[in-house]
Amino acid sequence: MPASHSRSAPICPICKAAAVPPDDSAFPFCSKRCQLIDLSRWMDGSYSASRPFNPGDPAPADETASDELPPDEAAPN
């Protein structure tokens, strides 16, 4: 018997209320108020990166171009 999976509404990361649909400009927050609270936390330093960025760091998987091939799979010139 297949398990049924129900998708729950996204949760606002600030107040934990149900977030608005993605077509709303406040998403993933439930309101403009929560969006501004989050921005304020970034601006006052409450949130921060875990460490400084180093130019030699590898790019996260979602930032690499999908059309790039590893050197061993590149077409010969």
pTM of the model: 0.53
Q: Rounded to an integer, what distance in angstroms lies between the CA atom of residue 24 and that of residue 70?
A: 39
Would you say how long the chain is, in residues?
Answer: 77
List phi, psi (to 5°) of 40: -60, -40
Distances in Å between the Cα of 77 and the Cα atoms of 39, 74 are 48, 9
Could you tell me the pLDDT band of residue 8, with boundaries at 50, 70 and 90?
Answer: confident
Could you tell me the pLDDT band of residue 23, with boundaries at 50, 70 and 90?
Answer: confident
- Tell me the pLDDT tens digit for each residue of 25-53: 888 999 999 999 999 999 998 988 778 87
Q: Which two tokens stand for residue 45?
A: 């330093």
- The reply to whether omega before 28 is within 30° of 0 (cis) is yes
The proportion of the chain whose per-residue pLDDT surpasses 70, expressed as a percent, equals 68
